[in-house]
Structure 1
Amino acid sequence: MQQPPKDTPSGEDAVSRSDLNQTREEVLEYWTEERIAEAKPREVRLPKPGPAPASQD
């Protein structure tokens, strides 16, 4: 069974995660050859780099 979308718009969470409520068999049943062929890779956006660490002597 596919998970419902979250209320938070995409890209607002710092970290992406999901709770897996399906069994291995359910996941394998969901991913048919047609779904695999139409799947698109997820866009990965890394956070902006922070300030460089201070050098240590």
Structure 2
Amino acid sequence: MPRNPKEPAPDQDPVSHVDLNQSPEEVLEYWTDERMAAAKPREIQLPEPEPPAGQD
């Protein structure tokens, strides 16, 4: 069954990382007020915390 591309693979860190090839100025130029207003944050699902050692 194909995996949802928005969900990380089991062996991947759920936090995204991208190597940029743009200058800081190009990034700032891209993120106009209109784009910022329309942007939707990425949903981050953190793993469930494990119970403290010694508790069952």
Gaps in structure 2 of 5+ consecutive residues = none
Which segments of structure 1 move beyond 6 Å, counting only runs of 4 or more?
Answer: none
Percent sequence identity over aligned pairs:
54
Matched, 1:10 2:6: yes
Gaps in structure 1 of 5+ consecutive residues = 1-7
**Match for residue 37 of structure 1?**
37
TM-score, L = length of structure 1? 0.62
Q: Relative contact order, CA 8 A, sep 6+: which one is greater?
A: 1
Root-mean-square deviation (CA, aligned residues, Å) is: 2.2
- 1:10 maps to a residue whose letter is K
Separation in structure 1 between the aligned mates of residue 26 and residue 53 of structure 2, nearest angstrom: 46
Structure 1 residue 43 displacement after superposition: 0.9
Structure 1 residue 52 displacement after superposition: 3.1
